[in-house]
Protein backbone atom coordinates (compact mmCIF):
# COMPACT_ATOMS: atom_id res chain seq x y z
CA UNK A 1 0.00 0.00 0.00
CA UNK A 2 1.17 3.48 -0.80
CA UNK A 3 0.42 6.62 1.15
CA UNK A 4 -0.55 9.65 -0.89
CA UNK A 5 0.44 13.03 0.51
CA UNK A 6 -0.56 16.43 -0.79
CA UNK A 7 2.23 18.93 -1.51
CA UNK A 8 3.03 21.74 0.93
CA UNK A 9 1.51 24.32 -1.38
CA UNK A 10 -1.92 22.66 -1.22
CA UNK A 11 -4.88 24.90 -0.49
CA UNK A 12 -6.21 25.13 3.05
CA UNK A 13 -8.60 22.27 3.86
CA UNK A 14 -12.32 22.91 4.20
CA UNK A 15 -14.05 23.40 7.53
CA UNK A 16 -15.16 19.78 7.63
CA UNK A 17 -11.59 18.60 8.19
CA UNK A 18 -10.23 18.17 11.68
CA UNK A 19 -7.43 20.47 12.64
CA UNK A 20 -8.64 23.49 10.70
CA UNK A 21 -6.70 26.56 11.68
CA UNK A 22 -3.40 24.82 12.25
CA UNK A 23 -0.85 26.48 10.06
CA UNK A 24 2.01 24.11 10.87
CA UNK A 25 0.42 20.97 9.39
CA UNK A 26 1.32 20.32 5.80
CA UNK A 27 -0.41 16.98 5.28
CA UNK A 28 -3.86 17.63 3.88
CA UNK A 29 -4.89 14.16 2.81
CA UNK A 30 -3.49 10.75 3.65
CA UNK A 31 -5.12 7.79 1.92
CA UNK A 32 -3.97 4.21 1.99
CA UNK A 33 -4.77 2.81 -1.41
CA UNK A 34 -4.45 -0.96 -1.91
CA UNK A 35 -2.60 -2.20 -4.94
CA UNK A 36 -4.70 -2.87 -8.00
CA UNK A 37 -6.37 -6.26 -8.01
CA UNK A 38 -6.36 -6.68 -4.22
CA UNK A 39 -9.88 -7.20 -2.96
CA UNK A 40 -10.59 -6.90 0.76
CA UNK A 41 -10.63 -10.13 2.70
CA UNK A 42 -13.97 -11.65 3.62
CA UNK A 43 -14.57 -12.45 7.25
CA UNK A 44 -15.69 -15.89 8.35
CA UNK A 45 -18.62 -16.04 10.74
CA UNK A 46 -17.02 -17.83 13.66
CA UNK A 47 -20.34 -19.13 14.99
CA UNK A 48 -21.01 -20.81 11.65
CA UNK A 49 -17.46 -22.19 11.49
CA UNK A 50 -18.09 -24.01 14.77
CA UNK A 51 -21.37 -25.51 13.54
CA UNK A 52 -20.74 -26.48 9.91
CA UNK A 53 -18.06 -28.46 8.13
CA UNK A 54 -17.41 -28.52 4.39
CA UNK A 55 -17.09 -31.83 2.58
CA UNK A 56 -14.77 -32.53 -0.31
CA UNK A 57 -17.59 -32.16 -2.82
CA UNK A 58 -18.57 -28.69 -1.58
CA UNK A 59 -21.54 -29.67 0.58
CA UNK A 60 -21.86 -28.75 4.24
CA UNK A 61 -22.43 -31.03 7.21
CA UNK A 62 -24.34 -30.15 10.36
CA UNK A 63 -25.33 -31.78 13.63
CA UNK A 64 -28.80 -33.18 14.14
CA UNK A 65 -31.24 -31.60 16.56
CA UNK A 66 -32.82 -33.14 19.67
CA UNK A 67 -29.74 -34.76 21.19
CA UNK A 68 -28.74 -32.20 23.80
CA UNK A 69 -31.13 -33.02 26.66
CA UNK A 70 -34.24 -35.03 27.59
CA UNK A 71 -32.53 -38.24 26.49
CA UNK A 72 -34.11 -40.61 29.03
CA UNK A 73 -37.17 -41.49 26.98
CA UNK A 74 -35.30 -41.76 23.65
CA UNK A 75 -34.19 -45.18 22.51
CA UNK A 76 -30.49 -45.99 22.10
CA UNK A 77 -31.03 -46.49 18.38
CA UNK A 78 -32.55 -43.04 18.05
CA UNK A 79 -29.77 -41.42 20.10
CA UNK A 80 -27.16 -43.18 17.99
CA UNK A 81 -28.82 -41.87 14.83
CA UNK A 82 -29.04 -38.35 16.24
CA UNK A 83 -25.30 -38.44 16.91
CA UNK A 84 -24.49 -38.69 13.20
CA UNK A 85 -23.89 -35.74 10.89
CA UNK A 86 -26.46 -34.60 8.34
CA UNK A 87 -26.06 -32.73 5.06
CA UNK A 88 -27.31 -29.15 5.03
CA UNK A 89 -30.37 -28.79 2.82
CA UNK A 90 -29.70 -27.30 -0.61
CA UNK A 91 -32.03 -24.38 0.16
CA UNK A 92 -29.80 -23.37 3.09
CA UNK A 93 -26.46 -24.15 1.45
CA UNK A 94 -26.14 -20.67 -0.10
CA UNK A 95 -26.54 -18.99 3.29
CA UNK A 96 -23.97 -21.28 4.88
CA UNK A 97 -21.48 -20.76 2.05
CA UNK A 98 -21.86 -16.98 2.45
CA UNK A 99 -21.01 -17.30 6.14
CA UNK A 100 -18.00 -19.54 5.34
CA UNK A 101 -16.40 -17.86 2.30
CA UNK A 102 -13.17 -19.91 2.37
CA UNK A 103 -14.68 -23.34 3.08
Q: Which residues of the chain have pLDDT under 70?
A: 1-34
Q: Are 13 and 47 in contact (CB under 8 A)?
A: no
The structural domains of the chain, ordered by start, are: 46-99 (4.10.410.60)
pLDDT of residue 30: 57
What letters, b where the CB count within 10 A reaches 16 and e where it falls short, cover 14-48?
eeeeeeeeeeeeeeeeeeeeeeeeeeeeeeeeeeb
Do the beta carbons of residue 6 and residue 30 sit within 8 Å?
no
- pLDDT, position 16: 56
pLDDT for 38 equals 85
Q: What is the pLDDT of residue 25?
A: 56
Amino acid sequence: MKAIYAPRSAPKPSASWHGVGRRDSHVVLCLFVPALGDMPKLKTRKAAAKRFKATGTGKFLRRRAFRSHLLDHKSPKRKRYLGTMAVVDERDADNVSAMLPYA
